[in-house]
Structure 1
Amino acid sequence: MKETKTLPLFSTYELDSRFYDELLKDNNEVREVYKTLYNLFGSYSVSEFDRLNKQAKDSFFNLGITFQVYGDKEVKEKIFPFDLFPRIINNKEWTTIEKGVLQRSKALNLFLWDVYHDQKIIKQGIVPEDLIKSSANFLPEMIGLDPPGGIYNHISGTDLIKHSDGKYYVLEDNIRCPSGVSYVIGNRNAVKHALFGVFNQYNAHTVVDYGSKLLDTMESVKPNGVDAPVCVIITPGVYNSAYYEHSFLAKQMGVVLVEGRDLFVENGFVYMRTIYGPEKVDVIYRRVDDLFIDPLVFKKDSMLGVPGLFSVYQKGNVTLVNAPGTGVADDKAVYTYMPEIIKYYLDEEPILNNVHTYHCSRKDELKYVIENIDKLVVKPVDESGGYGISIGSKLTKEEIETVKKTILAAPRKYIAQPIMSLSTHPTYIDENESFESRHVDLRTFTLLGKDTDFVLKGGLSRVALKKGNLIVNSSQGGGSKDTWVLKK
């Protein structure tokens, strides 16, 4: 078969047969769905593309699309790294992804209801009781509490990878405060501005409807007796790493962005301070962690929450999105039981596979992990943002010994997975002035409301910008690219 003609911007692009390359087949031929894009990008000179690339990055800067990185000595605000070459997912693949992530979100919601009520899955020995009770994110205060509409995880972020076998696998579920959707929309706007003509040729689904769908979801779980709910987003403030997203979503939905000091509790209800006087608040999309939402119940010294908020929630007079205590279900140790959880609550086989996972609290699996760290990725069960991850193949002998000691000191806190072959995708590398293959994953966003659900037809394709790196999180130096889900 005829080889693909190498174009100037792809002069250093190399196919690595160990990984699934989303642009090229094994014979170096461009996949059909990418041919129009490949030819368009290949027609640019380096100087022309640099100009387009700079325009896209300038638009991010002008819009304030940033994130915070917390270092040992200082907090830095950075423009979110963005790559102009979009990722394309065909309709057939997306249908499987969408059904799979929705299945997981529904199963996790039923699991949360059970964990905080009858605990049947524990009593029947499917999920161990000590796994739940020892989770740092299990909130005893939620036991017996019925969230409005019966929904705990209104917003779920499911992280997927495409393995060398060409299949998608779930890396983890995020149902506390999953972030990144603002970058999905920012990426789309930047690409449409720079590549308007070619975007229209591809007939991709929109992603800019997320704000309206999120507002619909929030309004669907309004407290009983409320006709026209007042919805707000509560943020920890401007120094939070995801503050841009908080303000962006508030604008998208047309709701007020508040901090804890803007709200108060009186006579069993929550009110917002306004220039016109107090206004009752019915639904709060919280981007404040569980233990900081109410200093009367959780962390006594929290300045981020609202005194008395949890008592109002217990009375059913306000809805919190996502519900407190959801983190017990996105614990990476609970992830190991997802196939059983799906089967138990939905009587279905998982549509999307888990990555095989070893939980270090199990003695036989702990032994295997300790003896094979050089072949595994070790992760803390309750961290996010790529923090605390150890990739065995990248460690020195001394570092491996340190990881062993850390695991043995607290086995419950760690899981391990095989080093998966994340797919590769063209990514423009400024210093080399050409496209190179970099590893990518995909975060999808699912909304659950009362009698309603929605999966955003697109997602955050995150890119490990360092060559050979498998950690894609922005906090670890990763970037992102637009994701086009085709309508047909």
Structure 2
Amino acid sequence: MVNTENAIFSSYKRDPNLNDEIFDKNGNVIEIYKKLLKLYGDHSINDYVNLNTKAKSSFFNQGITFQVYSEKSTQEKIFPFDLFPRIIAPEDWEIIESGSLQRSKALNLFLWDLYHEKKIIKQGIVPMELISSSINYLHQMMDIDPPGGIYNHISGTDIIKHTDGKYYVLEDNIRCPSGVSYVICNRTALKRALFGVFNHYQAHTVTNYAENLLDLLESVKPKGVDVPNCVVITPGMYNSAFYEHSYLAKTMGVELVEGRDLFVENDFVYMKTIQGPQKVDVIYRRIDDFFIDPLEFKPDSAIGVPGLFAAYKKGNVTLANAPGTGVADDKAVYTYMPQIIKYYLDEEPILNNVHTYHCSRPDELKYVLEHIPELVIKPVDEAGGYGISIGNRLSKSEIEQVKKQVGQNPRKYVAQPIMSLSVHPTYIDDTESFEQRHVDLRTYTILGKDKEFVLKGGLTRVALQKGNLIVNSSQGGGSKDTWVLKK
């Protein structure tokens, strides 16, 4: 148990082997959480249950949902949200923010180099075989200059706090990072339910994301365009993140479109409207590379726009993120991030990588196959927590199956030590009590032409199953509001 007279935490059990973010090793409340616990102590557990139920109803009524996929079924669920927030001190946020921005800038320069002169490859720092074997490396992007020189307009950096108290990057997401709408909705829900609590802290706003995103998207407009017309393109209402697509379009004040709403004529993109065609200059796309244009990529894609890539190559439309960015968030490329940062920025990484074994290297493959119970095995090209195997949770037969999969296609897998993500008190419906749950943080960095912005909050994701280390919403994880305190 912990040292608190707070009834709401009276049954909270603290595992001293885990890094609890609000209690120290002796079970005492950490300073920045003392006021919060006192304020929450004004509520009984029944009050909290009622507030939690109201928050759920609010999410349901707004359609804030996410698809959870399994082998047997696909379910659309209310996005799980815990009303007990995570607090990040200003000095910690400085490290997180500057580290996230550093990685985004380095990755952008890396992408420019890969699709132009390939200096980093010619100098032997990153092997060409690693790049050419990535399914997300698009030869069609060679020598194309994206407007403003930006490839990864929006980046998501997944960060954990380890038992040593330091922050580490688990992976970079620059193809199509999702979840930012939930950051904003979490804040809105918490303020509605517990404004008296929120009002006692000076936390940075997160509701300025959309205006900053639109500002940066407009900064990378095509040449010759004065006032760009921006749209958000979605695969449609059955996509797992459709709520986010519609939310961002609405809050930016731009149209949400599907592929069938756009057409290309004379290498310019137009949107169909009841007033006639309207030229489109910037497209924030939530469609994967291979589906954006059936004339250039997958010919059977029904969600893309025929001729879109030709318009992009001519510089007549901006695509955010640029096609081909996925090669840089390949989890095997991640292993080279310290060298990439040093090469392009001449800086040491502010945020360290988790030590990663790439199975295409024979000596590292040998180590991985011999130590699977101690490792997390990840496919290099998947997102959303899919395909991950946590070694100490596998049976003997499952370990043999993972060995077989990795051995058959070593390039597809990386492995990392099983890191002890920090834990945070989280309300669990089944027990109607607070319990320790593992958390991580996804930060959101946006780059424009001579502009940059990191959302001061990010998405704290929670592994709702006891002991689980996979926090992704698509795997049944939840989230918390994240308060970054002002200095």
| TM bracket, shorter-chain basis | over 0.9
1:441 aligns with 2:432: no
1:160 aligns with 2:131: no
1:389 aligns with 2:352: no
1:201 aligns with 2:200: yes
CA positional deviation for 1:10: 1.3
Spell out the pairing of 1:116-265 with structure 2 (5 A cutoff).
Answer: 116-265=115-264
* Distance in 1 (alpha carbons) for counterparts of 2:267 and 2:4: 69
Aligned to 2:280: 281
CA positional deviation for 1:46: 2.0
CA positional deviation for 1:74: 4.2
8 Å CA contact retained: 2:4, 2:10 = no
* Structure 2, unpaired ranges of 5+: none
* Distance in 1 (alpha carbons) for counterparts of 2:170 and 2:436: 21
* Distance in 2 (alpha carbons) for counterparts of 1:437 and 1:71: 25
CA positional deviation for 1:69: 2.3
8 Å CA contact retained: 1:132, 1:328 = yes
CA positional deviation for 1:485: 0.2
Aligned to 1:42: 41
Aligned to 1:68: 67
* Distance in 2 (alpha carbons) for counterparts of 1:80 and 1:191: 14
* Distance in 2 (alpha carbons) for counterparts of 1:262 and 1:119: 37
1:427 aligns with 2:423: no
Higher mean alpha-carbon deviation, 154-163 vs 65-74, is at 65-74
Deviations 1:411-431 (A, max 9, x none): 000000000010000100112
Determine helix, strand or coil for the equivalent of 1:369: helix
* Distance in 1 (alpha carbons) for counterparts of 2:168 and 2:69: 30
* Distance in 1 (alpha carbons) for counterparts of 2:209 and 2:326: 23
Aligned to 1:83: 82
* Distance in 1 (alpha carbons) for counterparts of 2:74 and 2:431: 29
Higher mean alpha-carbon deviation, 331-340 vs 72-81, is at 72-81
Determine helix, strand or coil for the equivalent of 2:111: helix
* Equivalent position amino acid for 1:219 in 2: E
Deviations 1:387-427 (A, max 9, x none): 10000000111110000000000000000000001000010
CA positional deviation for 1:47: 1.5
CA positional deviation for 1:73: 5.1
Alpha carbons of 1:13 and 1:76: their partners in 2 closer, same or farther (altered >3 Å)? same
Aligned to 1:311: 310
* Distance in 1 (alpha carbons) for counterparts of 2:374 and 2:42: 42
8 Å CA contact retained: 2:68, 2:476 = no
* Distance in 1 (alpha carbons) for counterparts of 2:381 and 2:336: 16
* Distance in 2 (alpha carbons) for counterparts of 1:316 and 1:354: 36
Higher mean alpha-carbon deviation, 30-39 vs 79-88, is at 30-39
CA positional deviation for 1:12: 2.5
* Distance in 2 (alpha carbons) for counterparts of 1:40 and 1:62: 28
8 Å CA contact retained: 1:122, 1:129 = yes
8 Å CA contact retained: 2:40, 2:197 = no
Aligned to 2:93: 94
CA positional deviation for 1:70: 3.0
CA positional deviation for 1:40: 2.1
Determine helix, strand or coil for the equivalent of 1:385: coil
8 Å CA contact retained: 2:167, 2:351 = yes
Deviations 1:310-339 (A, max 9, x none): 000000000000000000000000000000
* Equivalent position amino acid for 1:254 in 2: G
TM-score, scaled to structure 1: 0.99
* Distance in 2 (alpha carbons) for counterparts of 1:113 and 1:17: 46
* Structure 1, unpaired ranges of 5+: none
* Equivalent position amino acid for 2:450 in 1: D
Determine helix, strand or coil for the equivalent of 1:401: helix
Alpha carbons of 1:4 and 1:71: their partners in 2 closer, same or farther (altered >3 Å)? closer
CA positional deviation for 1:197: 1.4
Aligned to 2:410: 411
CA positional deviation for 1:9: 2.0
Higher mean alpha-carbon deviation, 379-388 vs 15-24, is at 15-24
* Equivalent position amino acid for 1:466 in 2: Q
* Distance in 1 (alpha carbons) for counterparts of 2:44 and 2:318: 54
Aligned to 2:336: 337
1:379 aligns with 2:415: no
* Distance in 1 (alpha carbons) for counterparts of 2:38 and 2:109: 48
Determine helix, strand or coil for the equivalent of 1:169: strand
1:5 aligns with 2:4: yes
Determine helix, strand or coil for the equivalent of 2:169: strand
Deviations 1:202-229 (A, max 9, x none): 1000000000000001000000000000
8 Å CA contact retained: 1:438, 1:467 = yes
8 Å CA contact retained: 1:69, 1:76 = yes
* Distance in 1 (alpha carbons) for counterparts of 2:197 and 2:396: 50
CA positional deviation for 1:167: 0.6
8 Å CA contact retained: 1:19, 1:163 = no
Deviations 1:116-175 (A, max 9, x none): 000000010000000000001000000110000000000000000000001100000000
Determine helix, strand or coil for the equivalent of 1:440: strand
* Equivalent position amino acid for 1:271 in 2: Y
Determine helix, strand or coil for the equivalent of 1:337: helix
TM-score, scaled to structure 2: 0.99
CA positional deviation for 1:11: 2.3
* Distance in 1 (alpha carbons) for counterparts of 2:154 and 2:120: 23
Q: Report the RMSD for the aligned CA atoms in angstroms.
A: 0.9
CA positional deviation for 1:5: 2.4
1:479 aligns with 2:481: no
CA positional deviation for 1:432: 1.3
8 Å CA contact retained: 1:18, 1:421 = no
Determine helix, strand or coil for the equivalent of 2:192: helix
Higher mean alpha-carbon deviation, 72-81 vs 295-304, is at 72-81
8 Å CA contact retained: 2:377, 2:415 = yes
Aligned to 1:367: 366
